[in-house]
């Protein structure tokens, strides 16, 4: 096999390949035999018809196509190995000249990994703003705990206030038409934690038991149901029940019921430990991010658009899956945000993700950082625990998804390189 290499823009190499005539004939004959196994030819058992008869039934072009499909993986593999190409996509045939008795000539193109030129990535000193625990964090944690264990009592002698829980009937109308699924009987709403249309819960304040009234609101412009987005609406309401929360008293008896604590001070100490750990985690993540952004910012690499487009396609699929899990459709997202806005955002994220991966791979190569079987096993174990599935079942399920093992391997490599960079650079928390 002879090859001629021509470098082209966008990290593409054009490869002209010449296969000796005897090998080309062998590919052809083997392909004819394979096809004969599946073609019903009168007078012959399957697989027993001679080549000239198979040609009459399926045609030379079909046999040549079958021959190329069978031979190309090995041909491409040899070319890649011989030239030490680092390909990032499946090679493809641009043209071929296949005449029996002559050398087989193939023109193929291969997309190579862009070359990354790193700046300094070790021995750096970077200032990072440290995370500050909010002054009210302790009190908010205690308040949240008390809220979780609050009881409710029915109120009959006053109007509703903003911290109440109300049980009410409502029926909604927009532009004179009844809103589909816009009504309910005895609906319970916590006025202090409402996810209703902005302004709805506020208008349930200062109402009396049994009172009937109307609420006027406007649906948000980005509302998922296009027909209602930005439209005014009227809701006819009636208060059926008013409840108020009664918080427990913060004392030793209470904390002994909610956890392994003996005193209020034990609880506060545990909360402070959690807040300190949270600060440490945030500072670590911010430090790793600052170091990596510094390194990627100084790295130079020309990324071909095709790599970004493929990554954007992957991000699009992930985005559609998230929408589905949240109960939305792709069409609803396009209506709310606009197709161009979504795709431009995905392509920007894709460009960043591709560059980050290239820089990580380059550092791993320079420092001989590899993913061991133990590293990969640890990632599988994480997934098993996350989804509460045993490891063999997890592996069986993942094996049905192309590329997922490569993604897990890349995650493991990312973590090892991140650890390396953290150990070899200094961060000053300000």
Residue-by-residue DSSP string for 322-364: HHHHTT--HHHHHHHH-HHHHHHHHHHHHHHHHHHHHHHHHHH
Burial class (CB in 10 A: 0-12, 13-18, 19+), 148: exposed
Look at the chain and report how many structural domains it folds into: 3
Residues 96, 168: one domain?
no
Q: Does residue 126 sit within a domain?
A: no
For residue 342, the enclosing domain spans 264-429
Tokens of 38: 């599946």
Residues 232, 183: one domain?
yes
> Cα angle vertex 409, ends 406, 413, to 5°?
135
Instruction: Report the SS3 class of residue 119.
Output: coil
Residues 155, 281: one domain?
no
Residues 298, 398: one domain?
yes
By DSSP bridging, strand 2-8 and strand 92-97 are unpaired
Please list the pLDDT of the chain residue by residue as tens digits (430 residues).
899 999 999 999 999 999 999 999 999 888 888 877 776 666 666 666 677 776 777 788 888 999 999 999 999 999 999 999 999 999 999 999 999 889 999 999 999 999 999 999 999 999 999 999 999 999 999 999 999 999 999 999 999 999 999 999 999 999 989 999 899 999 999 999 998 999 999 999 999 999 999 999 999 988 878 889 899 999 999 999 999 999 999 999 999 999 999 999 999 999 999 999 999 999 999 999 999 999 999 999 999 999 999 999 999 998 998 998 888 889 888 888 889 999 999 999 999 999 999 999 999 999 999 988 888 888 888 878 887 887 778 777 777 776 777 888 888 999 999 999 999 999 999 8
By DSSP bridging, strand 12-19 and strand 212-218 are unpaired
Taking the CA atoms of residue 409, residue 412, residue 413 and residue 415 in that order, the dihedral angle to the nearest 10 degrees is: 160
Residues 273, 240: one domain?
no
Task: List the CATH number of the domain containing 73.
Answer: 3.30.70.1050
Residues 339, 418: one domain?
yes
Q: Does residue 39 sit within a domain?
A: yes
Cα separation of 337 and 332, whole Å?
A: 9
Last residue of a domain, one of 59, 84, 111: 111
Task: List the CATH number of the domain containing 194.
Answer: 3.10.50.40
Angle of the 373-387 helix axis to the 391-398 helix axis, nearest 10: 100
> Cα angle vertex 342, ends 232, 182, to 5°?
25
Cα separation of 174 and 227, whole Å?
A: 10
Burial class (CB in 10 A: 0-12, 13-18, 19+), 121: buried
Q: Does residue 416 sit within a domain?
A: yes
| Contact yes or no for 95/107 (Cβ under 8 A) | yes
Please identify which residue in the block is written with the tokens 């996509």. Answer: 89
Residues 276, 401: one domain?
yes
Q: Taking the CB of residue 360, how many other CB atoms lie within 10 A of it?
A: 24
């Amino acid at each position: 096999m002879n090859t001629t290499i021509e470098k082209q823009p966008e990290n593409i190499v054009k490869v002209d390949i010449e296969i000796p005539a005897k090998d080309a004939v062998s590919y052809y004959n083997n392909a004819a035999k394979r096809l004969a196994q599946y073609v019903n030819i009168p007078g012959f058992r399957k697989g027993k018809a001679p080549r000239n008869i198979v040609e009459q039934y399926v045609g030379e072009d079909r046999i040549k196509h079958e021959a190329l499909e069978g031979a190309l993986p090995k041909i491409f593999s040899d070319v890649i190995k011989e030239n030490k190409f680092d390909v990032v996509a499946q090679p493809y045939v641009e043209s071929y000249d296949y005449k029996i008795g002559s050398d087989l000539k193939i023109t193929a193109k291969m997309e190579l990994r862009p070359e990354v030129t790193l700046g300094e990535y070790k021995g750096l000193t970077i200032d990072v703003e440290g995370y500050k625990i909010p002054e009210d964090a302790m009190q908010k944690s205690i308040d949240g705990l008390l809220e979780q264990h609050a009881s409710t009592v029915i109120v009959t002698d006053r109007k509703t206030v903003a911290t109440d829980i109300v049980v009410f009937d409502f029926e909604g109308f927009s532009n004179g038409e009844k809103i589909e699924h816009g009504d309910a009987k005895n609906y319970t709403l916590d006025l202090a934690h409402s996810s209703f249309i902005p302004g709805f819960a506020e208008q349930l304040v200062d109402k009396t038991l049994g009172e009937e009234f109307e609420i006027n609101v406007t649906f948000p412009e980005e509302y998922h149901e296009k027909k209602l987005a930005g439209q005014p609406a009227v809701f006819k309401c009636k208060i059926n029940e008013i409840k108020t929360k009664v918080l427990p008293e913060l004392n030793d008896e209470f904390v002994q019921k909610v956890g392994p604590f003996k005193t209020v001070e034990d609880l506060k100490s545990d909360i402070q430990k959690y807040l300190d750990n949270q600060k440490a985690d945030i500072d670590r993540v911010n430090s790793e991010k600052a170091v990596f952004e510094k390194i990627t910012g100084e790295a130079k690499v020309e990324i071909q658009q095709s790599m970004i487009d493929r990554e954007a396609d992957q991000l699009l699929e992930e985005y559609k899956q998230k929408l589905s899990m949240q109960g939305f459709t792709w069409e609803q997202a396009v209506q709310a945000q606009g197709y161009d806005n979504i795709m431009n955002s995905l392509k920007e994220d894709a460009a960043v993700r591709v560059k980050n991966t290239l820089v990580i791979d380059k550092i791993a190569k320079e420092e001989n950082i590899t993913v061991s079987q133990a590293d990969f096993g640890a990632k599988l174990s994480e997934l098993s625990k996350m989804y509460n599935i045993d490891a063999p079942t997890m592996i069986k399920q993942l094996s049905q998804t192309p590329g997922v093992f490569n993604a897990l391997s890349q995650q493991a490599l990312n973590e090892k390189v991140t650890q390396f960079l953290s150990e070899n650079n200094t961060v000053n928390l300000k």
